[in-house]
C-alpha cells in the first residue's frame, strides 16, 4: 500500500492552519474559508478520524477588533491583541463546528507546558480525554502570557509537538504554498514540487539553508523542522496549500497533493519525544571527537572524560545541549550535575568524581535514558 493510500486507514490527525490563511493575509478572519475547513474536518470525523486543530490567528483577529492596521512591535501590545483576538477566534471556530453538532474545546499552551514533565503529561492526558469524548481540541500558543524567551516561536513547531503528544498518525500543515519546492516557485520557473520525501533527507537541508534559503522563505524551513519533530513519534507530515478545494478530504482519499514527508525511523519512546521537544537549553557541553562517535554510533551515555568545555550556568536536572568542536549540536539531555560541578570533572574518568567533588554521584553526565540525539 502506498503512503498516500495509507492515509485513509489512519485514525488521528493534527491539522495546523496559519494566520495568512485564516485572516486572508491579515484582512480579518475569513469565516467562509473557516467553515470550509470545518466541513472537511467533520467529514474526516465521520470516517473515524480524530482531529486536533492547531489554529493561529489570535493576534491578527485582535488587531481587526481593535482597529489596528499595523502589527505592533511592543510585546505588551501583541499580548493585548492576542487576548482580544483569542476570544474572537475560538467563537468563530465554535460557531462553525456546532453547525455539524461537533463540540470544540480551547486549549492554550506555553513552552513551559512542554518543558515541565509534569505539565506535559497533564496536557497530554487532557487532550486524549477530549478526543475520547469526541471533542475537537482547538490549540494555540498562549500569546497573552508567553514571553520572547519562552515561546514556541511558531505554530508549526507547536503542531509538531502536539502530534508527538497525542501520538498522531498525520500532521497536516495548511499553508499559502502548494508544498515544498526544489526552489522558490515565485522567482524560479524551473522549480518543481516535491511530492514525497523522507523527513530527514539531507538534500532538504541544502534547499532550506537559513532564513533566506529557498525553502526558508515563507516559513518553509520551520515546516521542515516540524516534520522532523513529528517523525519522532512516527507521524507523517503533509505540507499543502490550504486554499485547494476540499484539500483535507482529498488527502484522506489518497490524492497526491502537497509534499508528504515520511518518518524514516521507528517512533521514539514517549520520554525521548518529550526530551526532543525541549526548545530551550540551559547550557552546552563541548565534546571531543571520541565522545561524539560513542554517542552517535554506539548509543551510550556521556561520561565526563569525553567533554572538553562547559558553557552556561545550569543546575542538576536541567536540559543541556551537547555540541561537537565545530559547534554542531549532536545531542541534548538532562544533566546530572550543576555547571560548576561539571567544570571540575570534565576530561576525567568517572572513578575520579568522588575525589574531585567530595561525594560519589552518577558516573555519567548524561544518561542515555535521559538523552536524545539530534
Do residues 293 and 146 both lie within one domain? Answer: no
Residue 16 and residue 169 in contact, taking contact as beta carbons nearer than 8 Å = no
pTM comes to 0.78
Per-residue pLDDT, 187: 79
Tally of domains in the chain? 2
CATH number at residue 221: 3.40.1160.10
Do residues 29 and 47 both lie within one domain? Answer: yes
Which residue matches cell numbers 465521520?
46
Do residues 255 and 302 both lie within one domain? Answer: no
Strands 170-175 and 12-17: parallel
Do residues 266 and 363 both lie within one domain? Answer: no
Model confidence over 187-245: pLDDT tens digits?
788 889 999 999 988 888 766 544 433 333 347 888 998 999 899 888 999 999 999 99
Residue 186 and residue 143 in contact, taking contact as beta carbons nearer than 8 Å = no
Do residues 71 and 186 both lie within one domain? Answer: yes
Q: List C-alpha distances in Å: 286 to 106, 190, 278, 327, 334.
A: 42, 42, 19, 8, 15
Decide which of 257, 273, 289 is a domain's last residue. Answer: 273
Domain of residue 138 covers 3-273
Residue 22 and residue 57 in contact, taking contact as beta carbons nearer than 8 Å = yes
Do residues 242 and 316 both lie within one domain? Answer: no
Q: C-alpha dihedral over 248, 253, 257, 262, to 10 degrees?
A: 100
Share of the chain above pLDDT 70, in %: 91
CATH number at residue 295: 2.30.130.10
Model confidence over 262-303: pLDDT tens digits?
998 777 776 677 777 776 788 999 999 999 999 988 989 999
Decide which of 273, 305, 323 is a domain's last residue. Answer: 273
Q: C-alpha dihedral over 105, 109, 114, 120, to 10 degrees?
A: -30
Amino acid at each position: 500500500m502506498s503512503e498516500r493510500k495509507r492515509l485513509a486507514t489512519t485514525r488521528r490527525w493534527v491539522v495546523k492552519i496559519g494566520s495568512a490563511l485564516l485572516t486572508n493575509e491579515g484582512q480579518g478572519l475569513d469565516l467562509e474559508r473557516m467553515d470550509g475547513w470545518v466541513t472537511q474536518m467533520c467529514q474526516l470525523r465521520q470516517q473515524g478520524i480524530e482531529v486536533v486543530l492547531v489554529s493561529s490567528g489570535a493576534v491578527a483577529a485582535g488587531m481587526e477588533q481593535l482597529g489596528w492596521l499595523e502589527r505592533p512591535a511592543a510585546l505588551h501590545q501583541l499580548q493585548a491583541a492576542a487576548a482580544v483576538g483569542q476570544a474572537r477566534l475560538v467563537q468563530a471556530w465554535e460557531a462553525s463546528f456546532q453547525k455539524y453538532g461537533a463540540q470544540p474545546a480551547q486549549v492554550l499552551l506555553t513552552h513551559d507546558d512542554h518543558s515541565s514533565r509534569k505539565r506535559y503529561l497533564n496536557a497530554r492526558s487532557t487532550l486524549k480525554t477530549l478526543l475520547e469524548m469526541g471533542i475537537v481540541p482547538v490549540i494555540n500558543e498562549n500569546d497573552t502570557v508567553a514571553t520572547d524567551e519562552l515561546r514556541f516561536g511558531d505554530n508549526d513547531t507547536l503542531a509538531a509537538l502536539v502530534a508527538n503528544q497525542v501520538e498522531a498518525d498525520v500532521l497536516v500543515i495548511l499553508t499559502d504554498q502548494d508544498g515544498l519546492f526544489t526552489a522558490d516557485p515565485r522567482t524560479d520557473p524551473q522549480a518543481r514540487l516535491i511530492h514525497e520525501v523522507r523527513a530527514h533527507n539531507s538534500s532538504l537541508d541544502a534547499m532550506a539553508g537559513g532564513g533566506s534559503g529557498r525553502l526558508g522563505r515563507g516559513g518553509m524551513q520551520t515546516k521542515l523542522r516540524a516534520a522532523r519533530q513529528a517523525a519522532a513519534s512516527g507521524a507523517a507530515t503533509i505540507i499543502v496549500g490550504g486554499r485547494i478545494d476540499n484539500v483535507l478530504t482529498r488527502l484522506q482519499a489518497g490524492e497526491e497533493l502537497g509534499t508528504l514527508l515520511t518518518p524514516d525511523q521507528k517512533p521514539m519512546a514517549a520520554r525521548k519525544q518529550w526530551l526532543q521537544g525541549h526548545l530551550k537549553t540551559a547550557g552546552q557541553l563541548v565534546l571531543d571527537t571520541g565522545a561524539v562517535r560513542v554517542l552517535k554510533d554506539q548509543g551510550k551515555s556521556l561520561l565526563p572524560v569525553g567533554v572538553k568545555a562547559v558553557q552556561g550556568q545550569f543546575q542538576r536536572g536541567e536540559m543541556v545541549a551537547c555540541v561537537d568542536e565545530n559547534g554542531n549540536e549532536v545531542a541534548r539531555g538532562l544533566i546530572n550535575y550543576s555547571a560548576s560541578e561539571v567544570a571540575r570533572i570534565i576530561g576525567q574518568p568517572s572513578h575520579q568524581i568522588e575525589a574531585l567533588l567530595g561525594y560519589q554521584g552518577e558516573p555519567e553526565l548524561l544518561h542515555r535514558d535521559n538523552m536524545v540525539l539530534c
